[in-house]
Amino acid sequence: MDDPPVSFAVIGTGAIGPRHAAAINKTPSSRLACLVGPNPAAKAIANEFDVPLFHSVAEMLASSVKPQAAVICTPNHTHVSISKILLDAGISVLCEKPIASSLADAKELLQHVKHSEAKFAVGHHRRFNRYARATKAALPSLGRVVAVSGLWTIHKPADYFEGIGEWRKDAANGGPVLINLVHDVDVLQYLLGPIIRVSAEETIKQRNFDAEEGAAVLLRFQSGCVGTFVVADAVPSPHSFESGTGENPIVPVTGMDFYRFFGTEASLSVPDMKRWSYDGKEKSWNERLKEETLLVEDSKIPFELQIEQFVKVVKGLEKPTCSGEDAVRALMVVDAVKKAMKEGVGIDIPC
């Protein structure tokens, strides 16, 4: 007899919560038990999914609804407190990135996780993206990766920062370094290993919020690879993970590149997956490079693959694809980027 599906609560009904709820509904091994959130639009969302709505985690825990797992999709500064409450109630947690707003809070949460029997993972869902996985498979064919160049450049609309999104104006919790660059940092460390040093310069501001609008970042990896990354959320541009891959349904697809990897044997751009090499000939600028397009297999959307994997984590069958330790490592890097912007110096990151 098949195991019954794992029941989930989705905590938070802003932009990301409904996407997780839809992924849970599409996954045979999971079941959406309820939604939690004070958002005025939450009732309509709960009606759409035909599940109960609770205004707080405390209200849910006092009810007869007892989910086995929860996805936390609330503002960054609430991730730690909500995770602790759920873990203490024996509910396994898949927490949206970033794991916390500060490194100290993140490390405190990891200590809490160690004393809980419930499972914990962090939603760096791009590890499940088919382009990220195809890139990881292709990297060995480049030889030793010498350098990488990345872009996350886009223009967020004014309403992104209003209403329930007001917190995104705040320097401690908002800004594209913590909200967006943390995704790319996690992907790059998933692909290339730990980042051990960063330098950064902040971009000019147009909105006059406390939060930054972008930065130019210099990276050094433990492997010896070096990299550059430009992140900016107030510029018209087709170069970002979402625009390139079509991952986010609210962002139109451009297919334009956002990563370029340069190795001793070949180079690769993503997501067009163009690989350039001398194909065994002498390596010289006098020789014509061979261009080939690598195959990227179709797959389910990352949120669905992430839920499928987390169900196995809850059942004790697998380790998380992105652990709390992985997420803290990404937060250490973006924390160092913010410090580098402020102090104007390079920041070393301990391994």
State the DSSP H helix or E strand holding residue 191, giving kind and residue range, or none if neither: helix 182-192
pLDDT for 274-292, tens place per residue?
A: 999 998 889 999 999 999 9
DSSP 342: H
Q: Are 119 and 323 in contact (CB under 8 A)?
A: no
d(CA 53, CA 305): 25
CA distance 312 to 284: 49
Instruction: pLDDT band for 261, please (50, 70, 90 cuts).
Output: very high
Q: Which strand ranges, in their side-by-side order, compose the sheet holding 30-36?
A: 53-54, 30-36, 6-11, 69-72, 92-96, 120-123
**Class assignment of domain 6-126+302-320?**
alpha beta
CA pair distance 44, 93, nearest whole angstrom: 25
* pTM recorded for the entire structure: 0.91
Model confidence band, residue 351 (pLDDT cutoffs 50, 70, 90): confident
The one-letter code for the residue type at 271 is P
* Tokens 């996350």 sit on residue: 152
Average pLDDT score over the chain: 95
| pLDDT band, residue 315 (cuts 50/70/90) | very high
- The confidence band for 296, taking pLDDT boundaries of 50, 70 and 90, is very high
pLDDT digits (tens, 9 = 90+) for 131-171: 999 999 999 999 999 999 999 999 999 999 998 889 999 99
DSSP E strands, 166-289: 195-202, 214-221, 226-232, 259-263, 266-270, 274-277
The CATH number assigned to the domain with range 129-299+332-348 reads 3.30.360.10
pLDDT at 39: 83
Percent of the chain with pLDDT over 90: 92
How far apart CA 340 and CA 348 sit, in angstroms, is 10
pLDDT band at 229 (very low <50, low <70, confident <90, very high): very high
How do the residues of the chain divide into helix, strand and coil, expressed in percent and rounded to 5? 35, 25, 40
The secondary structure of residue 32, as a DSSP letter, is: E
> Does the pLDDT of residue 1 top 60, yes or no?
no
Res. 83: pLDDT tops 90? yes
Q: Domain segments of the chain: what residues?
A: 6-126+302-320, 129-299+332-348
Q: How confident is the model at residue 235 (pLDDT cuts 50, 70, 90)?
A: very high
**Strand pairing category for 92-96 and 69-72:** parallel
Average pLDDT for 322-330: 95
If we measure between CA atoms, which residue out of 74, 133, 114 comes closest to residue 325? 114
Q: What is the pLDDT of residue 101?
A: 86
CA distance 135 to 139: 6
Q: How far apart are CA 152 and CA 27, in angstroms?
A: 30
Q: What percent of the chain has pLDDT over 70?
A: 99
Residue-level pLDDT at 76:
87
pLDDT, one tens digit per residue, over 5-21 is 999 999 998 889 999 99
Closest CA to 337 of 173, 110, 151, 182: 182
